[in-house]
């Protein structure tokens, strides 16, 4: 059975009052820091509304899948200056989307965006509260994008922002929906100072029959726009 998460109200209040102005450096190794603040965990990812309407995975015959979760946090955010946005040739991309595409440029494979029927709030404070509520309820948001050919993939890169020192709850739905037994799972994340927290261990517990790579790639949200070279080096270290 998948593990259950219950966040006490006091812990949530503590996170809401925590300081988010800490120094943030790129982190390319799996870490276990549990003190993720609201700003760290929920400002790290965002895309434009247009980017939120992707189709299901388009196959290319590759045995590599790059699946990622991205949130359209758009309200009251300057796309040119905000740390949660990357603007390339006028196109706004979320941090995780940027990283997923950088991985695809290096290893090929098929890109797949994990999307939900539930529309997440675009305003930051509301998203903070909504994510905390989902976590406290151990929610399993219904997915609106699906993979029909998961058996065709031997290696699955999984990308997600660090929310409240955990994966966003749609990631748990994603792992519930598919059998990753015998596959290589390679995590990557963007964060505000807490790296992976305990999420790689969580994936290993959820998928005990998969080969979960512990040397995932994590990077501070402020350094994500400059992470393409580090991503290439990381992939090379893994043999890709």
CA–CA separation, 103 and 68 (whole Å): 11
CA-to-CA separations, 127 to 122, 144, 191, 224, in angstroms, rounded: 7, 19, 16, 21
**Number of neighbouring beta carbons within 10 Å of residue 17:** 9
Tokens found for residue 71: 């949130």
Phi-psi region of 20 (alpha: psi -120 to 50; beta: other; left: phi over 0): alpha
Per-residue pLDDT of the chain (240 residues; tens, 9 = 90+): 444 433 333 333 333 333 333 333 334 333 333 333 333 345 445 433 334 334 455 555 689 999 999 875 564 444 433 445 566 666 667 889 999 999 999 999 999 999 999 988 877 788 778 989 999 999 999 999 999 899 999 999 999 998 899 999 999 999 999 999 999 999 999 887 888 999 999 999 999 999 999 999 999 888 888 899 999 999 999 999
Question: Residues 87, 80: contact at Cβ < 8 Å?
Answer: yes
CA–CA separation, 182 and 138 (whole Å): 27
44: DSSP letter: S
CA–CA separation, 115 and 55 (whole Å): 9
At residue 102's C-alpha, the angle toward residues 96 and 105, to 5°, is 145
CA–CA separation, 99 and 115 (whole Å): 17
- The reported pLDDT for the residue numbered 90 is 61
For the stretch 99-126, pLDDT in tens is 999 999 999 999 999 999 998 887 778 8
**Number of neighbouring beta carbons within 10 Å of residue 11:** 14
Tokens found for residue 60: 């290319």
The rounded percent of the chain whose pLDDT value lies above 70 is 66
Q: How buried is residue 146: exposed, middle or buried, by Cβ count under 10 Å (0-12/13-18/19+)?
A: middle
For residue 116, the Cα-to-chain-centroid distance in whole angstroms is: 14
At residue 46's C-alpha, the angle toward residues 240 and 128, to 5°, is 120
Domains and CATH numbers, the chain: 25-237 (3.40.50.360)
């Amino acid at each position: 059975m998948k593990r259950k998460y219950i966040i006490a109200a006091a812990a949530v209040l503590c996170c809401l009052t925590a300081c988010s102005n800490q120094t943030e450096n790129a982190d390319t190794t799996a870490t276990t820091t549990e003190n993720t603040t609201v700003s760290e965990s929920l400002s790290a990812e965002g895309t434009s509304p247009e980017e939120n309407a992707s189709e299901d995975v388009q196959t290319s015959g590759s045995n590599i899948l790059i699946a990622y979760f991205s949130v359209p946090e758009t309200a009251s955010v300057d796309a040119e200056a905000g740390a949660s946005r990357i603007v390339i040739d006028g196109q706004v991309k979320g941090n995780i989307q940027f990283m997923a595409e950088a991985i695809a440029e290096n290893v090929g494979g098929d890109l797949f965006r994990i999307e939900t029927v539930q529309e997440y709030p675009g305003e930051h404070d509301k998203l903070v509260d909504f994510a905390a509520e989902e976590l406290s309820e151990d929610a399993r948001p219904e997915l609106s994008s699906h993979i029909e050919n998961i058996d065709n993939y031997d290696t699955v890169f999984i990308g997600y922002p660090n929310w409240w020192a955990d994966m966003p709850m749609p990631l748990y739905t994603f792992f519930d929906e598919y059998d990753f037994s015998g596959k290589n799972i390679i995590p990557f994340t963007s964060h505000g100072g807490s790296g992976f927290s305990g999420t790689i261990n969580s994936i290993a517990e959820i998928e005990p029959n998969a080969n979960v790579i512990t040397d995932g790639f994590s990077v501070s949200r402020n350094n994500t726009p400059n992470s393409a070279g580090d991503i290439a080096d990381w992939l090379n270290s893994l043999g890709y």
